[in-house]
Copies of this chain bind each other. A is one copy, B any other.
Amino acid sequence: MPSEVHMPKKVVIVGGGFAGLKAARALGNNEDVSVTLIDRRNYHLFQPLLYQVATAGLSPAEISGPIRGILSKYKNVSVFLDNLENVDLTNKKIQVQDRSLEYDYLILACGAKHSYFAHPEWEENAPGLKTLEQATEIRRRLLMAFERAEKETDPEKQKQQLTFVIVGAGPTGVELAGTIGEISRHTLTKDFRHIDPSRTRVILIEAGPRILAAFHPDLSRKAAADLEDLGVQIWTNTRVTDVKSDSVVLGDEVIKAATILWAAGVQPSSINKTLGVPLDRAGRVIIEKDLSLKEHPEVFVLGDQACYLTDKGQALPGLASVAMQQGTHAANQILREIEGKPRLEFKYLDKGQMATIGRRKAIAQISNLKFSGFFAWILWLFIHVYYLIGFKNKVFVIWQWAYAYFTFKRGARLIVDKEWRSKPKPPVS
Contact = CB atoms under 8 A, between A and B. Distances in A.
B151 A72 contact: no
Interface in A137-175: 137, 143-144, 147, 150-151
B147 A81 contact: yes
B81 A194 contact: no
B417 A133 contact: yes
Contact of A72 (B75, B133, B191, B414): B191
A61 B412 contact: yes
Contacts of A150: 79-81
B403 A399 contact: no
Interface in A382-418: 392, 395-396, 399, 403, 409, 411-418
B414 A132 contact: yes
Most-contacted residue by chain B among A62, A82, A422, A427 (CB, 10 A): A422
Nearest to A116: B422
A341 interface: no
A85 interface: yes
Interface in A28-75: 41-43, 59-62, 64, 66, 68-69, 72, 75
Most-contacted residue by chain B among A43, A395, A413 (CB, 10 A): A413
A150 B82 CA distance: 11
Interface stretch (A1-9, A123-131, A294-302, A366-374): A123-131
A78 B193 CA distance: 6
Contacts of A193: 75, 78
Contacts of A194: 78
A274 B427 CA distance: 11
A409 B392 CA distance: 11
Contacts of A418: 133, 418-420
A39 B239 CA distance: 40
Contacts of A132: 414, 416
A392 B412 CA distance: 11
Interface string A271-311: 10010000000000000000000000000000000000000
Contacts of A348: none
B82 A151 contact: yes
A426 B127 contact: no
A119 interface: no
Nearest to A53: B61
B147 A422 contact: no
B411 A61 contact: yes
A312 interface: no
A349 interface: no
Contact of A85 (B84, B114, B427): B427
A429 B96 CA distance: 11
Contacts of A417: 131, 133
A328 B129 CA distance: 43
A75 B190 CA distance: 9
A243 to B, nearest CB: 14
Nearest to A395: B399
A95 interface: yes
A415 B274 contact: no
Most-contacted residue by chain B among A61, A68, A131, A134 (CB, 10 A): A61
A191 B69 contact: yes
Nearest to A76: B193
A38 to B, nearest CB: 10
Given A194-B78, A392-B403, A131 B426 contact: no
Contact of A68 (B120, B192, B429): B192
Contacts of A42: 143, 147, 413-415
Interface of A: 41-43, 59-62, 64, 66, 68-69, 72, 75, 78-86, 95, 99, 113-114, 120, 123-124, 127, 131-134, 136-137, 143-144, 147, 150-151, 190-194, 270-271, 274, 392, 395-396, 399, 403, 409, 411-422, 425-429
Given A43-B415, A75-B193, A395-B399, 4 more contacts: A43-B413, A95-B429, A392-B403, A418-B420
